[in-house]
Amino acid sequence: MIAHAALGGSTNAIIHLVAIAGRFGLKIPLEKFDEVSRRVPVLANVKPNGKYLMEDYHFAGGLPGLLSRLTDHLHLGCHTVTGRSLLENLSGAGICNDDVIRPLDEPVCSEGTTVVLRGNLAPRGAILKVSAADKSKLQHQGPAVVFSSMADLEARIDAPELDVQADSVLVLQNAGPIGGPGMPEWGQLPIPKKLLKAGVRDMVRISDSRMSGTAFGTCVLHVAPEAAADTVMPRAPPGVIGAQPHTNGHAALHQVEQGSPPIPLGRVLTGLQVKISFRLGLDQVNQRVVEELVDAFLHLLVQVLEVDARHV
């Protein structure tokens, strides 16, 4: 988590770390990532947070070099897969370019990479990668333009008649573990073509989906519960949405005006998709994702290949 914050790492890492911890019976609350990000600055000056490429980061010292800057934040005595302690692993670490891997007193961002938002649109939390966002949009309120699915977005996003302005908030529903299904990386919603032509390069975007770690934008991700769970997010249209990542030490994501009744999912899934999506949706990304997904695929393998479960 420390390295993730200092690297300005992908929001996908949050899902993976929570799931891996779950395999050991541990729970990592979302707020822990928020807390770590507030005290660990971004030191890696790489895209989308900075100007260099990951290749430059590797040759500047890579992960060992980055960790050598963070020794005050690490448990250096812990054992690693090398059979040695973390301190021993870092004994030969060095940095050959201080602009790529910044010193602690010259960070790329003084606070870390991610912030956790909660509110009436995301009572169980959502994630925003603030280090890759337009800082002018971190406190924003605007009219919601809602797409009920990726198919709906693709059909309407570039339509000349779409009622959208630069201050609009683009919302994509049904792109989570159940709704996708499988939570695809659709979180970086495209800017409408007519706004691109007008020079707009970023907008506040909200979804229950994921986003690539290399992507830039003010994109609120992993909204939980997801829209397909038929709870809060399906009620987004119409209304005004406000996002405030830092308000008196807290973060908020609210629908200012109550919207309409839930939009039906309106799609047919195969048996496998239903099984995997249901299992994934049980914990809405935050817990046991890896365990449930592995169990689902093992069960499928036994059924389809008719193999002895003892050999799986």
Residues forming the active site: 212
> Would the CA dihedral through 193, 196, 197, 198 be positive or negative?
positive
Q: Could you give the CA distance from residue 186 to residue 209 in angstroms, rounded to a whole number?
A: 6
Compute CA 271 distance to the chain's CA centroid, rounded to the nearest angstrom. Answer: 28
Cβ atoms 131, 42 nearer than 8 A? yes
What tokens were used for 223? 């909204």
Instruction: Tell me the angle at which helices 289-305 and 12-23 cross, rounded to the nearest 10 degrees.
Output: 80
Q: Is the N-terminal amide bond of 103 cis, ω within 30° of 0?
A: no
DSSP code of residue 42: B
Instruction: Give the C-alpha separation, 227 to 223, whole Å.
Output: 8
